[in-house]
A and B are shown apart, each in its own frame.
Chain A
Amino acid sequence: NAGVTQTPKFQVLKTGQSMTLQCAQDMNHEYMSWYRQDPGMGLRLIHYSVGAGITDQGEVPNGYNVSRSTTEDFPLRLLSAAPSQTSVYFCASSPPSGGKREQYFGPGTRLTVT
């Protein structure tokens, strides 16, 4: 199993540009989520999904869109990038477990918005 994969590893955007961060998992996990990691702020939940076709907002959803058309993929879209979205983005997945199973994290995407 490849686990959780994310592409790209690094990205530089100009303010106002849009892009999609890709996340895929091959473990048949129903739950997937996106976090951003900023210094001194830990990981903050952006959006999450409990299964294909179902998504919901986390703590910091503004400026981001998600969709979940398949169990495997959970892309994160930045509609109009802003410097405040400069961050490291992590995707995670876990099997259905009532929250008792660990989340498996991808390697992250480091995004810089200039």
Chain B
Amino acid sequence: AQSVSQHNHHVILSEAASLELGCNYSYGGTVNLFWYVQYPGQHLQLLLKYFSGDPLVKGIKGFEAEFIKSKFSFNLRKPSVQWSDTAEYFCAVNAQGFQKLVFGTGTRLLVSP
């Protein structure tokens, strides 16, 4: 069975700081990888996704993530965060060919102005 680990539970940054959130998954086969974001009081929205091809994927709002197969990782990055990036971020994975999604425990990001 798949599992997903997000090591940072809470992150506090100042505006303009760079962001990197870690995500590692456990699964022996080929996977699809996702980052979702949940802004305060809102439902989850997709930030970006990776299925195959270029391991560096770009998403909305300046976010990007890099898939490193050898490390089973899919870390999320943003060069310069804004106050509006305050949210909870979830990494998720499913096995290719299956839609059942497994989520990590989430990282709460607080960006101070």
Contact = CB atoms under 8 A, between A and B. Distances in A.
Given A105-B44, A106-B43, A107-B43, A98 B98 contact: yes
Interface string A10-53: 00000000000000000000010101000011111100101000
A108 interface: yes
Contacts of B71: none
Given A41-B105, A90-B44, A106-B43, A99 B90 contact: no
B99 A94 contact: yes
A99 B98 contact: yes
Counting chain A CB atoms within 10 Å of each CB, the highest count among B6, B44, B49, B98 belongs to B44
Interface string B15-27: 0000000000000
Contacts of A48: 99-100
A59 B44 CA distance: 19
B43 A45 contact: no
A25 to B, nearest CB: 13
Contacts of A59: 102
Contacts of B104: 42
B96 A42 contact: no
A99 B106 contact: no
Prevailing SS type, chain B contact patch? loop
B103 interface: yes
Nearest to B44: A105
Counting chain A CB atoms within 10 Å of each CB, the highest count among B6, B97, B105 belongs to B105
Contacts of B101: 33, 45, 99, 103
B83 interface: no
B95 interface: yes
Interface string A85-97: 0000010101011
Contacts of A96: 99
A106 to B, nearest CB: 6
B9 to A, nearest CB: 7
A40 B107 CA distance: 9
Nearest to A108: B43
8 contacts: A35-B103, A90-B43, A96-B99, A100-B51, A102-B49, A103-B46, A105-B43, A105-B45
